[in-house]
């Protein structure tokens, strides 16, 4: 074989090997991505076996076909962005109902932002159970999308939580108003019944010492009063991870109310006897003055 023909043959071989390698890597990446969607494994690019802090909170839960604080077959769930504006999200929500855990996949829910103004963008998750249940807790366990993967709980909704009885009525009303326009998702079969090794499988965040807030002097002179609702995310050791104002009667009230919410002492939420991150709705009332 001449030198020119040998060079040509080697060039063709290298091109074939390169093409085969690219093809093989493409097929492997596609298989991994498909596996991430099916099994919940992190997509390529995520650290193997890693979890990240979930960017979503479960803000509130409301029964749709029964009065509040009672068993129902259909519930609406409002998600909230942990940090940032409202946005669309898909993933899997873990729901503890009557001591059985359900894993419910959802698509294109719209999580609200950090303020009540974002409620107009809410698209809730509506879940239908095979029979009437009481929802004990709910949290987002997995997020699908470009950065898919399981996530550590950032803020679980746990019932009964006395602070949620004080939640602004606009959240519950928004859930009830939007739920009829959302197609319900079947809950599927739950995991086995688990007898808790402690008092309850779901325990909410509680306060141990409540800090007080003083109204600004100018507001006092003007005779202003009203309520401020602050959301507090309490971590697994009972520390305030972050807090913000959901709504306030007057802007002047926001700073002292938020300061009191952060200065209050809390005990963490628990799920299956294990401390976890949870939400507490801290309400400050400033009296109207004559």
235-273: pLDDT as tens digits: 999 999 999 999 999 899 999 999 999 999 999 999 988
CA distance 289 to 50: 54
Poorest-confidence range of 94-98, 213-217, 278-282? 213-217
Instruction: Judge contact between 171 and 59, C-beta under 8 A.
Output: yes
CA distance 228 to 206: 19
Q: Is this structure's pTM higher than 0.85?
A: no
Residue scoring higher pLDDT (49 or 156) = 156
CA distance 245 to 173: 19
Q: What is the mean pLDDT of the chain?
A: 78
Question: ∠ CA 189-142-119 to the nearest 5 degrees?
Answer: 95
Q: Residue 18 pLDDT > 70, yes or no?
A: no
128-183 pLDDT, tens digit per residue, is 999 999 999 999 999 987 777 888 888 899 886 544 444 666 888 899 999 999 99
Cβ atoms within 10 Å of 228's Cβ, excluding its own: 24
Q: How big, in percent rounded to 5, are the helix, strand and coil portions of the chain?
A: 30, 40, 30
Residue scoring higher pLDDT (46 or 107) = 107
pLDDT at 35: 35
Helices first, then strands: H and E counts in the chain: 4, 18
CA distance 262 to 131: 40
CA distance 27 to 31: 6
């Amino acid at each position: 074989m001449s030198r020119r023909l040998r060079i040509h043959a080697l060039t063709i071989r290298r091109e074939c090997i390169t093409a085969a390698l690219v093809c093989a890597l493409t097929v492997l990446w596609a298989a991994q991505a498909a596996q991430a969607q099916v099994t919940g494994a992190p997509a390529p690019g995520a650290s193997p076996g890693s979890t990240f802090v979930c960017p979503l909170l479960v803000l509130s839960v409301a029964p749709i076909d029964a009065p509040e604080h009672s068993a129902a077959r259909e519930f609406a769930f409002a998600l909230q962005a942990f940090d940032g504006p409202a946005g669309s999200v898909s993933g899997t929500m873990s729901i503890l109902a009557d001591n059985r855990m359900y894993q419910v996949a959802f698509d294109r829910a719209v999580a609200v932002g950090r303020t009540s103004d974002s409620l107009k963008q809410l698209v809730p998750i509506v879940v239908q159970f095979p029979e009437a249940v009481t929802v004990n807790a709910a949290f987002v366990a997995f997020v699908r999308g470009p950065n898919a993967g399981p996530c550590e709980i950032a803020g679980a909704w746990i019932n009964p939580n006395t602070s949620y009885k004080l939640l602004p009525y606009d959240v519950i009303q928004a859930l009830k108003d939007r739920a009829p326009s959302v197609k319900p998702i079947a809950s599927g079969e739950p995991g086995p019944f688990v007898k808790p090794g402690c008092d309850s499988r779901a325990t909410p965040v509680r306060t141990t010492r409540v800090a007080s807030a003083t109204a600004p002097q100018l507001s006092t002179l003007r005779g202003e009063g009203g309520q401020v609702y602050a959301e507090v995310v309490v971590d697994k050791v009972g520390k305030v991870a972050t807090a913000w104002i959901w709504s306030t009667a007057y802007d002047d009230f926001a700073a002292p109310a938020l300061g009191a919410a952060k200065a209050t002492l809390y005990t963490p939420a628990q799920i299956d006897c294990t401390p976890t991150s949870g939400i507490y709705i801290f309400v400050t009332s400033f009296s109207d003055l004559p």
